[in-house]
Amino acid sequence: MNKTPVIIDCDPGIDDAMMLTLAFSRPELDIKLVTTEAGNVSTDKTTYNTLSFLTYIGQDVEVARGLEQPIFRSLEIAEDIHGEGGLGNVKWADPILQESDRTAITAMYETLLASDDPIIIVATGPLTNIGALLLAHPEVKPKIKLISWMGGAAVGGNMSTTAEFNAYVDPHAAELVFRSGVPIIMSGLDVTHKAYITREEMEELRKLGTPFAEKAADMMKFYTFTQSQTPFSPPHFEEQIRLHDVCAVAVLVAPELFKGNDYYVEMELEGRLTAGTTIVDYTHKTGKEPNANVLHSVDREGFVKLFFEACTTIGQKLLEK
């Protein structure tokens, strides 16, 4: 099998952990590097959580610590959603996997330059690390096949009326990425709010009968409650667990599940009411060429099946060890 080389940039985070589940369950993905940054919680916690989760699922991959603050803004985190530690009320494992001696920016730069094939970057947090990479080392752009980002929203935000969390936390980094010329797939709230599992399906996950599935279900149960308490959550969110970050990997391994269109996207950096908004040129008023494929729809049943298959694969592999 010709494997696709991938770098994952993340901020675990409950749905980041579920994204890593899908990514490491797929034989067609060759994950070269995982980098961490501040977002859902601090960089100390996202790095620990990554090492803990990857230790639990038995992965030996380089994990490099990234930046601790957005480029120009003060950091805002989401402990109210992901818990004080970042992974709800679940403890995965005491990390055996060790943090890399390389920083995230250096590790990404050197990994990209050393690769014979262009690499896909999966980004499921603020784009701080990637924006800094492209600013410091624009020569790596030809080495990046595309950036699959969970972030942004064409219509409706979760940090403000219009801004999604990952875009809101570091809009200046997102601006650097969207202006880079590197192909982008944007899995914004327009699609990720449709990529959910129900409470009943979460209980079916428990019935897979593995300790991994039990822990995953416990973690997502925590996530269900906290997501439903946010100011922009409709009442029915109490019955749904939205696996936002999983979309950034799912669209790579099962693109047939998603629908999207190419649009020009730019960032609102300073708006009094709209800072952090991803402005999608639906009506082509700017006259600018599209710079992103903006996803808007997902086959939810197919998405849930894909996610359950990943949980089954990881859970069974752990039982066999």
Neighbours of 44 (CB within 10 A): 12
Active site residue 193: no
CB 149 within 8 A of CB 61: no
H/E segment holding residue 169: helix 165-169
Name residue 215's amino acid: K
> Of 152, 169, 173, 168, nearest to 264 (Cα)?
152
Cα–Cα distance between 205 and 217 in angstroms, integer? 7
Q: What is the three-class DSSP state of 32?
A: strand
From 233, 159, 167, 146, select the one nearest 196 (Cα to Cα).
Answer: 233
Which one from 236, 244, 284, 296 is the annotated catalytic residue? 244
Helix, strand, coil shares of the chain, percent, nearest 5, are 40, 20, 40
Consecutive H or E run containing 121 = strand 119-123
Nearest to 70 by CA among 184, 141, 167: 167
Separation between Cα atoms, residue 168 and residue 162, nearest integer Å: 10
| Separation between Cα atoms, residue 248 and residue 187, nearest integer Å | 6
Bridge partners (DSSP) listed for residue 49: none
Which residues are tagged catalytic?
244
